[in-house]
């Protein structure tokens, strides 16, 4: 696994743009017209997504899938889909990318239904098993990624979806109830890019770079994965 450290946000964002360009290049070179991206939520990636949206990307039918989602009302500012929708609202890509949000959920039963529906949608769109061209992943200080936390594995607090590609998970932070793609789904990404920022993430970044098996995110390390770490 490769680790790249940046002292300024412009260089960090520029590296992420480079990953998008490479994913698009590989898609075109293989004769495909579709580009499947899987995007992390939270606060860290929003400026990166705004920069990606300003790229002149053309000739590819891009789909924006979400690594995970919070079980909150659609209008809640904590909802990852809302952040991604805002970040791409002035997108320069032609054609305009299609956002693939998780179905709404607020209870555990609804979250289980959402996970099952999202898994089925993935398979219908990307095939079985589905594969992403590029997954942009987050990294928590505890080593979690998506909503796959150290203490509940693949969403073991609740039932996984039938094919094991999506699950319900419980977060130690509010909002606690989440829906998430599993390691099985995320590991099929051709390229996996972890975005991390700030001194609070340095310990997790180092452990991920060393592929510490105790870290959930390390299950997505290895060939095809990099860390882009902004030091400020």
pLDDT at 164: 82
Q: DSSP letters along 158-217, please?
A: SPBPTTSSEEEEE-SSSS-EEEEE-HHHHTT-S-EEEEEESGGGHHHHHHHHTT-TTSGG
How far apart (Å, rounded) are the C-alpha atoms in residues 129 and 20? Answer: 22
Q: With a threshold of 0.85, does the pTM exceed it?
A: yes
What digits encode the pLDDT tens for the residues 206-231? 999 999 999 999 999 988 899 999 99
**pLDDT-derived band at 127, boundaries 50, 70, 90:** confident
The domain spans of the chain are: 2-230
Whether the predicted pLDDT of 41 surpasses 60? yes
**How far is residue 192's CA from residue 223's CA, in Å, rounded to a whole number?**
9
What would the two tokens of residue 60 be? 């590819």
Q: Is 103 helix (H, G, I), strand (E, B) or coil?
A: coil
What topology is assigned to 2-230 in CATH? Rossmann fold (3.40.50)
Whether residue 146 contacts residue 39, with contact meaning beta carbons closer than 8 Å, is answered with: no
Locus of tokens 């032609």: 94
* Average pLDDT of every residue of the chain: 92
């Amino acid at each position: 696994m490769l680790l790249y450290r940046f002292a300024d946000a412009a260089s960090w964002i520029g590296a992420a743009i480079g990953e998008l360009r490479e994913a698009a290049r590989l898609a075109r070179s293989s004769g495909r017209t579709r580009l499947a991206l899987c995007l992390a939520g939270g606060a860290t990636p929003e400026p990166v997504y705004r920069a990606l949206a300003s790229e002149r990307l053309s000739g590819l039918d891009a789909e924006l899938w979400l690594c995970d989602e919070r079980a909150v009302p659609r209008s809640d500012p904590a909802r990852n889909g809302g952040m991604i929708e805002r970040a791409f609202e002035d997108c320069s890509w032609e054609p305009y990318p299609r956002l693939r949000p998780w179905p709404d959920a607020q209870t555990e039963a609804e979250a289980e239904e959402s996970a099952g529906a999202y898994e089925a949608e993935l398979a219908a769109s990307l095939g079985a098993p589905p594969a992403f061209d590029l997954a942009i992943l987050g990294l928590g200080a505890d080593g979690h990624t998506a909503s796959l936390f150290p203490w509940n594995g693949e969403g073991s607090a609740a039932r996984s979806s039938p094919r094991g590609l999506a699950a319900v998970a419980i977060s130690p932070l509010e909002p606690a109830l989440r829906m998430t793609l599993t390691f099985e789904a995320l590991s099929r990404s051709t390229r996996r890019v972890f975005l991390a920022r700030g001194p609070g993430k340095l310990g997790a970044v180092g452990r991920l770079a060393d592929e510490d098996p105790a870290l959930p995110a390390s299950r997505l390390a290895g060939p095809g994965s990099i860390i882009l770490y902004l030091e400020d």
